[in-house]
A and B are shown apart, each in its own frame.
Chain A
Amino acid sequence: MAQVLPAERDLRRVIGDADGAGDRQVEGLGEQELLELYRSMVQLRTYDERSVVYHSQGRIGTYAIFWNHEAMQAGAFHALEDEDWIFPSYRESAIGLLRGMPPATVLSWWRGHPAGWWNPDDYRVASICVPIATHVPHAAGLAWGKKLKGERAAAIVFFGDGATSEGAFHEGANFAGVTGAPLILFCNNNGWAISTPVEAQTRAQTLADKAAGYGMPGVRVDGTDVLACFEATHEAVRRARNGEGPTLIEAVSYRVAPHATADDPSAYVDVERVEEARKHECVGRFEGYLRRAGILHDDLATSIRAEAAEAMREAIKTAEAEPPADVELLFANAYVDPPASFGSDLDELRGTLG
């Protein structure tokens, strides 16, 4: 039996700005790839910032903010190939954008409009499960299925630090370990599950430590270092494809935004630490790296941002131009073959609406 080493404790980093450590290069990432990574981060950042505005304007519903988590999402995403499956939590609601999903689709999802229903097969992005960690077993099952079918694809599942306290996380991770599923368990440890700090979530010193119990490697990365997130995921994907089974990645940051638009974190977070962390937010950090490497300059940065902003302006227009949903949808999709009672319920609804 292969030996499982203790999980890593030190955060892996590639970008070296915070304490004077030097920048590293990542194998396989040339200038084009680095700029693509940057474009993805800006796309996500713009989506997130505009969504908070749209929420305050009453144009979308309650929204789960992911500001400063773009590094984890874009970094992990770029380590995948097109055939690999993504199981997002609500925190990664817009990750489909990186696979070409129109932002209007995701906005419609947050507007509760049927135009927000994407077909997971089209993007290899699963539907979002809002109960915590419940999608971890799904991802384990899908990844195991890929292995059984002899396909090359792997899967990645995103979840937060709080999710590691759920039974579904444990069962899903253990299941993936036992079946040797090609799965990457990507934990966004931003220190908070709504108002519960990670210290109140577990007495484990790190969440990556849990990996040893499932017989898989546990890796810790700086969650605001997009290249570290990329590199760790890339390595995990390679292991998965080689038949070496799952990997647990713990990406660490300090949550600088509210849990969601319905939350006021000032009652519980360390406000000074938030201020400090915001100074080193992940898009700016990567921008610094690219500028030091001479890859990014002002004009290019401006045009990438303008492109992302324009896409969002179009997207909200498209989402708001959707016609009201047909009420029949309330009953149409729960079954492949709806039972007869749905018909009389629908008649009643149509009668009520007049």
Chain B
Amino acid sequence: MPELSYREAVRDALSRAMRDDEDVFIMGEDIAEMGGSMGVTQGLVDEFGPERVRNTPISEMALAGAAIGAAMQGMRPVAEIMYEDFLTLATEQIVNQAAKHRYMSGGQVTVPVTFRTQGGAGWSPGAQHAQQLESWFVHIPGLKVVFASTPTDVRGLLWSSIYDDNPVVFFEHRTLYGIKEDVPDELEPIPLGQARTHRRGEDVTVIATGRLVHEALAAAKEAEQEGISVEVVDPRTLLPLDEEALISSVKKTNRCVVAHEAVVRGGFGAEVAAVIQYSAFDWLDAPIERVGAKFSPLPFAPVMEEFVVPHAGDVLNAIRRTVGRTDGN
């Protein structure tokens, strides 16, 4: 079993897909010789050449749109949007075009494009280079939305996204690129719409995405010291959502914390909380807790950034509240 970093796992999925299938190609800003701003695509241009590892002008709208045009012709483009903050520049193409073509053609046009992007705080890039904007896309019928938190998941989910016939917005987290894990030699595709339970527990379910999966696991360890047994579930695919897995976990533990790095207000956690309260209302012993960033643009100053985005301690406090304990007691 080779050990791969999250970054290498993304690269592995891309290169295997391109090796297996001539219809797969990647395009984006600075992805060729430079290997992408996060180094994800390093070396791919040497193997696949500059036409299949295509550097584009700084034109998010055009590269997203051109990927749609190529996808309409049966290609499976993977378009990289360098920072998810820049999704704003491509949103017309993703929301009004990619998501709508199948619907508006009566199912006759498919757009099997994957929009890969990354974001996330923790390295002080400021207000315009680290946002978590996944909830916007969960609001759009016609899209699928994936947010992977481990090397194994990111590899298997990216593969499935590339081969999904719907447009997929694929979120990676900046601070996870370095984390490592043993992954199987064989790439195992992970079906979209299937949650993963990282840890079993009896008292509280934490439903977490992206970096917060790791924060939640750290919080769960701490909670264990305090005698609280925590289950940690990562939906992995935000749209479609594996509602059954989340509901059945909460029906078992009777308490729920939802945790993501994105701003709490209007975040993906609100959708999860609504799903849980509707289907497991009678099972809940405490209000659902939401953990996320404070309602503020991300500060440039590291200490302030640290304050705005959530960490394991915030998850732990939320866990404690659901079992009726105040901090540390």
Q: Mark A326-346, 1 if CB is under 8 A from B, else 0.
A: 000100111111011100000
Q: Does A114 make an interface contact (CB < 8 A)?
A: yes
Chain B residue at smallest Cβ distance from A332: B107
Q: A118-B108, A167-B61 are in contact. Are A335 and B142 (CB under 8 A)?
A: yes
Instruction: Assess whether B101 is in contact with A141, with CB atoms less than 8 Å apart.
Output: no
Instruction: Assess whether B105 is in contact with A119, with CB atoms less than 8 Å apart.
Output: yes
Q: How far is the CA of A117 from the CA of B102 in the complex (A)?
A: 10
Q: Does B92 make an interface contact (CB < 8 A)?
A: yes
Instruction: Assess whether A141 is in contact with B61, with CB atoms less than 8 Å apart.
Output: no
Q: How far is the CA of A143 from the CA of B65 in the complex (A)?
A: 12
Find B240's partner among A120, A129, A333, A339 (CB 8 Å cutoff): A339
Chain A residue at smallest Cβ distance from B25: A148
Q: Mark A92-136, 1 if CB is under 8 A from B, else 0.
A: 000000000000000000000010011111000011010100111
Instruction: Assess whether B92 is in contact with A131, with CB atoms less than 8 Å apart.
Output: yes
Q: A335-B142, A336-B102 are in contact. Are A172 and B73 (CB under 8 A)?
A: no
Instruction: Assess whether B142 is in contact with A334, with CB atoms less than 8 Å apart.
Output: yes
Q: How far is the CA of A353 from the CA of B240 in the complex (A)?
A: 27
Q: Does B169 make an interface contact (CB < 8 A)?
A: no
Find A120's partner among B56, B96, B103, B108 (CB 8 Å cutoff): B108
Q: How far is the CA of A50 from the CA of B37 in the complex (A)?
A: 55
Q: Does A175 make an interface contact (CB < 8 A)?
A: yes
Interface residues of B in 103-155 (CB under 8 A from A): 103-110, 141-142, 144
B273 CB to nearest chain A CB (Å): 17
Instruction: Assess whether B69 is in contact with A119, with CB atoms less than 8 Å apart.
Output: no
Instruction: Assess whether B110 is in contact with A336, with CB atoms less than 8 Å apart.
Output: yes
Instruction: Assess whether A174 is in contact with B108, with CB atoms less than 8 Å apart.
Output: no
Q: Does A139 make an interface contact (CB < 8 A)?
A: yes
Q: How large is the interface on A (under 10, 10 to 19, 20 to 34, 35 or more residues)?
A: 35 or more
Q: How far is the CA of A136 from the CA of B73 in the complex (A)?
A: 15
Interface residues of B in 36-90 (CB under 8 A from A): 51, 56-57, 59, 61-70, 72-73, 75
Q: Does A6 make an interface contact (CB < 8 A)?
A: no
Q: Does A251 make an interface contact (CB < 8 A)?
A: no
Find B70's partner among A120, A145, A168, A178 (CB 8 Å cutoff): A145
Q: How many residues of B contact A (CB 8 A)?
A: 42
Interface of A is mostly: helix
Instruction: Assess whether A178 is in contact with B57, with CB atoms less than 8 Å apart.
Output: yes
Instruction: Assess whether A120 is in contact with B62, with CB atoms less than 8 Å apart.
Output: no
Q: Given the complex, which residues of B lie within 8 Å of A332, measured CB to CB?
A: 107
Find B106's partner among A144, A171, A333, A340 (CB 8 Å cutoff): A333
Q: Does A248 make an interface contact (CB < 8 A)?
A: no
Instruction: Assess whether B62 is in contact with A168, with CB atoms less than 8 Å apart.
Output: yes
Q: Mark A138-169, 1 if CB is under 8 A from B, else 0.
A: 11111111101000000000000000000110
Find B103's partner among A118, A126, A139, A333 (CB 8 Å cutoff): A333
Chain A residue at smallest Cβ distance from B244: A340
Chain B residue at smallest Cβ distance from A139: B69
Q: How far is the CA of A148 from the CA of B50 in the complex (A)?
A: 11
Chain A residue at smallest Cβ distance from B61: A171
Q: Given the complex, which residues of B lie within 8 Å of A127, measured CB to CB?
A: 101, 104-105, 109
Q: Mark B238-257, 1 if CB is under 8 A from A, else 0.
A: 01100100000000000000
Instruction: Assess whether A137 is in contact with B93, with CB atoms less than 8 Å apart.
Output: yes
A121 CB to nearest chain B CB (Å): 8
Find A140's partner among B66, B107, B193 (CB 8 Å cutoff): B66
Q: Given the complex, which residues of A lie within 8 Å of B64, measured CB to CB?
A: 137
Chain B residue at smallest Cβ distance from A129: B97
Find A336's partner among B61, B75, B165 (CB 8 Å cutoff): B165
Q: Does B194 make an interface contact (CB < 8 A)?
A: no
Q: How far is the CA of A333 from the CA of B61 in the complex (A)?
A: 25
A153 CB to nearest chain B CB (Å): 10
Q: Does B175 make an interface contact (CB < 8 A)?
A: no
Q: How far is the CA of A65 from the CA of B102 in the complex (A)?
A: 26
B112 CB to nearest chain A CB (Å): 9
Instruction: Assess whether B66 is in contact with A168, with CB atoms less than 8 Å apart.
Output: no
Find A171's partner among B59, B107, B144 (CB 8 Å cutoff): B59
Find B66's partner among A118, A121, A141, A334 (CB 8 Å cutoff): A141
Find A175's partner among B56, B75, B101, B165 (CB 8 Å cutoff): B56
B139 CB to nearest chain A CB (Å): 13
Interface residues of A in 303-346 (CB under 8 A from B): 329, 332-337, 339-341
Find B92's partner among A168, A329, A336 (CB 8 Å cutoff): A168
Interface residues of B in 237-288 (CB under 8 A from A): 239-240, 243
16 contacts between A and B (CB under 8 A): A118-B108, A120-B72, A127-B104, A127-B109, A137-B66, A143-B69, A145-B75, A146-B73, A168-B62, A172-B66, A178-B56, A329-B106, A335-B141, A335-B166, A336-B166, A340-B240
A residues sitting closer than 8 Å to B (CB atoms) are 114, 117-121, 126-127, 129, 131, 134-146, 148, 167-168, 171-172, 174-175, 178, 329, 332-337, 339-341
* Other A-B pairs beyond A134-B96, A171-B62, A333-B107, 18, CB < 8 Å: A114-B106, A117-B105, A119-B108, A121-B108, A131-B96, A134-B65, A138-B66, A140-B62, A140-B69, A142-B69, A145-B70, A168-B65, A171-B65, A172-B62, A172-B65, A333-B102, A335-B166, A340-B240
